[in-house]
Amino acid sequence: MSETLYVLKHQNRRSIVHSVLAVCLFAALFLAAFCRKQGNAGGQQPEIVVFGDSICGQVRDETSVPARLQELLGRRVYNAAMGGTAMAQQKDGRRQDDIGNCFSMIELAKAVEAGDFGVQRSVLVRERIVEYFPEVIEGLAEVDFSQVDTVLLEYGINDYHGVTRIQDPEDPYDAYTFLGALRTAVESLRRVNPRLRIVLVTPTYAWYVHSEERRTYEETDLGEGTLNDYVNAVIQAAEELDVEVIDVYHALYPHENWEDWELYTIDGVHPNEAGRRRLAEYIADALTEYEGTPWNGSG
């Protein structure tokens, strides 16, 4: 009888040890997954979230625009910019979970408001997407937007490329128009956090360096206007929506001469390292321009 009790006691001890080890392993895996989800938020709640396209999202190392903003401002910045994405839904008549729709800013803002990124996650499972997209979406799902101070919205160049209508006079909230999507996105974010500082960032100046003839985006109308028309729409929308705007189109890159594209871009569109540094410094200066006047969400 005593031998049986001895065996049972040791079996129980082994079971307890195994249970403890299992719990510890689960906790470690959960912590590692949580840190991965936080992505470039550094495992902490970000103060600033940057939404945008490849201008901010293509490069994701310490030389990226969001990373340099974090360094310059001394504040936690999360890079939610994803290359190829636009403000508006891009494929009218397609399913809501079409890639060109669900990763648009209007749909990301709706997901933030609902606290549900299920549509984006389902597409990530179904489709072969840019490798960093899953990390961005999982990181966004962990951000508490009620505690975010500032959101930057840097869009326009892919809406221009996609020949997206700038607006529909009969439907100011048309999701397939640039301004309709912008209005909807801003309102969604404000419902999550009424005190949120929302800052619009215009597209940068751009050149068609691979075209047979020398031309810029300022000179080329693809069907719904030149890039300058989209920039002007952003500036006008900022006044309408009572948000700030940082115009990096007109003043950031020199563009008097054709060869100027080589100064700050790698291909006439995407910034090189010097361009990313210049862009981050320009945005940081604009964000701190009103230093000493706390943002109170009232415009």
Q: Which two tokens stand for residue 9?
A: 């006691």
User: Distance (Å, rounded) from C-alpha 71 to C-alpha 284?
Assistant: 10
> How many whole angstroms separate alpha carbon 133 and alpha carbon 107?
15
46-287 maps to CATH 1.10.3720.10: no
Residue 292 has pLDDT above 90, yes or no: no
CA 73 to chain centre: 18
Q: Is the pLDDT of residue 136 over 50?
A: yes
Q: What is the DSSP letter of 216?
A: E
pLDDT of res. 194: 97
pLDDT, tens digit, 9 for 90 and up, residues 185-221: 999 999 999 999 999 999 999 999 988 889 999 999 9
Bridge partner residues of 78 (DSSP)? 49
Using the predicted structure, report yes or no on whether residue 291 has a pLDDT greater than 90. Answer: no
**Is the distance from CB of 66 to CB of 79 less than 8 angstroms?**
yes
Q: Does pLDDT of 227 surpass 70?
A: yes
Residues 55, 77: Cα–Cα separation, whole Å: 16
Q: Find the helix or strand (DSSP H, E) in which 51 lies.
A: strand 48-52
User: What is the predicted pLDDT for the residue at 101?
Assistant: 87
Q: How far apart are CA 152 and CA 57, in angstroms?
A: 13
Q: Is 61 left (phi over 0), alpha (psi -120 to 50) or beta?
A: beta
Q: How high is the pLDDT of residue 234?
A: 98
Write out the two tokens for 96.
């809501």
Residue 3: is its pLDDT beyond 60? no
Phi first, then psi, for residue 145 (nearest 5°) are: -70, -15
CA distance 184 to 123: 22
User: pLDDT of 20-64, one tens digit each?
Assistant: 334 343 333 333 344 443 334 456 899 999 999 999 999 999 999
Q: Are the CB atoms for 263 and 161 separated by under 8 Å?
A: no
Average pLDDT over every residue of 113-138: 90
| Of 133 and 100, more confident | 133
Whether the CB-CB separation of 174 and 89 falls below 8 Å is answered with no
Average model confidence (pLDDT) across the chain: 85
Render the burial of 17-54: b for 16+ CB within 10 Å, e for the rest.
eeeeeeeeeeeeeeeeeeeebbbbbeeeebbbbbbbbb
Lowest mean pLDDT among 98-112, 116-130, 252-266: 116-130
